[in-house]
Structure 1
Amino acid sequence: MDGWGMSVVTEHDLLIVGGGPVGATLALALQHQGINATMLEARAKGASHHDQRALALSYGSILILDRLGLWAELKPKATAINTIHVSQRGSLGRSLLKAEEHGQPALGYVLSYGDLSTALDHAIQQFPGIEVSYETEALAIKPGQDSAEVEYRSQWQNYAGMARMAVLADGGRSLADIPGLQRETKHYGHDALVSKVECELPHDNIAYERFTPAGPVALLPNGPRDFSLVWTGKAEEVQALLALDDDAFLQALHTHFGDRVGQFLKIGKRLSFPLRLSYLKPVTAPHLAVIGNAAQTMHPVAGQGFNVGMRDAWELAQLLAAMPMEEWGQPRMMQAYQASRKADTRGGLLFTDFLVNVFSNDIVGLRKVRALGLGLLDIVPLAKQHLVRKMSFGPRG
């Protein structure tokens, strides 16, 4: 049979499309409950292990990794965020969020995507109950009343995977034409520039969130002296920044951000991507759940998107483990999953959208209100505690 002929039919209890951190977390969480899974990953084995993109992990995500037995291995490679300094340019209003004031060892940690992927992949190799098919491209997903069908291609052969439960966890592939699911998208017209920058002053495990009329700028401690930079602005302004030489860029960053960390000394490779808010309505269909960035994409202003995806994976694993396998994908289970995740995902979307809309403009009179709000947040302990717990754990914080 040639690879472009009839599809080979395969049968699965659980088929996960996407082997990145969210899909891998789901597979491992299920295996800890004795449930096997098959995972389809488009990239080659180990392809993401040297990816230096920074992930801001909330304290809740750290607890998930700890339950999977991975955090002790990862902690030496991560940089703790002990304090978050929130301010707006041109204003004295600011707020400090400190881990020690909220009974946490850290508010979060910064870890490279590659280090997290390596640890997850190595853990998966310890479990024969997790089968991973690398360099495998999902072509279509079709929910059905008895099972979901995942069409995929591997080694020049087409397959039709029939799954009692299918999970789309690949944020890089929208597969937006899944029957019954509709994607809502809001384009901000802004891009995010990301890089790694070395500063004159030590970071002291402080993360900075600086709001400006052009958009927020974040500096996350990453390594002994470096920060990961997320600089957002209008698309054309970000493209102009990408075109600057290193010295001119560092000077522009200092002018934009201010002097809180001294001079900016070195800048790494600069990349950019467009910012949007996107979500599926609903995130389930018969015998199918969509989780992580495939279900919702958020503005990076509050570092919520990846952590919401980790909670998606964990909550779905707990629900699958609690249900008899014959009930997987049935309406009662899918409604239960939607209900369990609705507050968290909606809260993350609304929170990040609110921050962008309120802080990233220069409407007359709003700057004083924002300054007052930041100042009040700093002196009202209950408000600060509520914010920290939501950022760390979602709605159940």
Structure 2
Amino acid sequence: MLIERLPHHLDILIVGGGPVGALLAQKLTASGHDVLLVEAKSHIGKDPRALAIAHSSIVALQQAGLWSDQLGATPITRVHVSQAGTLGRTVLTAEELELPELGCTVPYQALAQHALDVVAAGQAPLALGTRVSAVRQMARFTQVKLQTSHNALESEHQLTCRLLVLADGGQLIDQLHDIRQSVKSYAQHAVLAKVTPKQPHGGIAFERFADDAPLALLPNGMDYTLVWTQTPELAAARLALSDEAFIAELEQRFADRLSGFSAVGERASWPLALKTLNSVVGERVVLIGNAAQTLHPVAGQGLNLGLRDAETLAHVLAQTPKAALGEAASLQRYRQLRARDAGLVTAFTDSLISVFDSPAYPIKHARSVALLAIDQLAWLRKGFARRMVYGAR
């Protein structure tokens, strides 16, 4: 429910009203906790991104009332992984896991706005246009300073909470005295565009490792959303290409896999980096979702990892007495429960960039053999697919 009058004290303050923060707020409110979700924006602005949502994430969002058939989601029934210039390839299918789909592609703007709308109409208190400007951790509670904007009027508010959860707001990390962030630049930009295939995509997603950079094609309505990672110089050059020239370069990298593309929409790009923390928990604070880790988009695991963060934290806090919320014991339990999944998924996506970055023939041949092995060995292929759908549990 939307609120304008902020409390002076509460149990749990969640910063970030995206899908991760909304999922946590919904689940904690259902378990009877005193929660407030704050979001700096009043509404979700235009955002061209499309997200790959795993089947397990869809189930979690459905159970929290955050999923809708009106989101314009496109099912992904197969994922085709291949390396250009070699025979190396493997195909992951929903049928092999006895699932209706491996996941879906959904417009980020639609999902994020729907999450805010659901929370606003429900029981979880939500404050829009409310930004956290300062955080002070203390032994028994965390002190938070908020800047609110309503009807063009700015005001400042201060509150305390037993536990602060950052589901977004990575800029606040510098104010935490016991958590440090590490940033690894990939020296790459991701070029994003909507492309129209000459033939129907049939729900098949593609992960293509070309010699110069990996590419992903995600079914999005009748089109594909392209995510093409490359050097900043190449990204700038390809943004400047004519539509015909851009399509020609794209078709060159999928020459033996797709029949081609008939159109390309507006293009955009952004820099890529891996952001991790020395710890996702600190004194009276826990970080989840993008605040905890920002991954390379190559495997489409970022949001799925964040939603599993929210589910696990909600489970731990539901079993924590009110007086013990924010204390080290429960926060360390959460950290331990999430360490394997977060660590393995982060290492996996990071290693993909290193392993598939070298054009050297011996390494390229080894990659081809690895993909063929995954394709030929059912137990290995199914295990890989399960990891993509459910994470490392």
Between the aligned partners of 2:296 and 2:310, the Cα distance in structure 1 is 20
Between the aligned partners of 2:272 and 2:71, the Cα distance in structure 1 is 31
Secondary structure in 1 aligned to 2:351?
helix
Q: Is 1:170 the equivalent of 2:155?
A: no
* Deviation sequence 1:57-82 (CA, Å, 0-9, x none): 011101101211344x2377211111
Q: 1:172 offset after TM fit, Å? A: 5.9
Secondary structure in 2 aligned to 1:365?
helix
Identity across the alignment (%): 38
Between the aligned partners of 2:237 and 2:56, the Cα distance in structure 1 is 37
Count of residues paired in the alignment:
384
Residue matched to 1:3: none
Q: 1:160 offset after TM fit, Å? A: 2.1
2:130 to 127, 136, 157: 136
Q: 1:11 offset after TM fit, Å? A: 1.2
Is contact 1:74–1:115 with CA below 8 Å preserved after alignment?
no
Residue matched to 1:324: 321
For structure 1, the residue ranges without an aligned partner over 5 or more in a row are 1-7
Between the aligned partners of 1:118 and 1:174, the Cα distance in structure 2 is 23
Q: 1:268 offset after TM fit, Å? A: 1.6
Is contact 2:173–2:181 with CA below 8 Å preserved after alignment?
no
Q: 1:174 to 1:11 in 2, by over 3 A?
A: closer
* Deviation sequence 1:22-72 (CA, Å, 0-9, x none): 11111111122232421121111x334x5342010011101101211344x
In the TM superposition, 1:303-322 aligns within 5 A as: 303-322=300-319
Q: 1:250 offset after TM fit, Å? A: 1.4
Is contact 1:278–1:296 with CA below 8 Å preserved after alignment?
yes
Q: 1:127 offset after TM fit, Å? A: 2.2
Q: 1:81 to 1:18 in 2, by over 3 A?
A: same
Residue matched to 1:151: 145
Q: Considering only aligned residues, what root-mean-square deviation do their CA atoms show, in Å?
A: 1.7
* Deviation sequence 1:324-370 (CA, Å, 0-9, x none): 01111111011101001111111111000111111122123011111
2:32 to 31, 34, 51: 34
Between the aligned partners of 1:208 and 1:127, the Cα distance in structure 2 is 38
Which deviates more, 244-253 or 214-223? 244-253
For structure 2, the residue ranges without an aligned partner over 5 or more in a row are 1-5
Residue matched to 1:185: 183
In the TM superposition, 1:284-299 aligns within 5 A as: 284-299=281-296
Q: Is 1:230 the equivalent of 2:227?
A: yes
Between the aligned partners of 1:132 and 1:227, the Cα distance in structure 2 is 34
2:86 to 83, 91, 94: 91
Which deviates more, 254-263 or 310-319? 254-263
Residue matched to 1:220: 218
Is contact 1:191–1:238 with CA below 8 Å preserved after alignment?
yes
2:344 to 342, 347, 351: 347
Residue matched to 1:63: 59
Is contact 1:25–1:314 with CA below 8 Å preserved after alignment?
yes
Is contact 1:74–1:119 with CA below 8 Å preserved after alignment?
no
Q: Is 1:279 the equivalent of 2:276?
A: yes
Between the aligned partners of 2:249 and 2:88, the Cα distance in structure 1 is 23
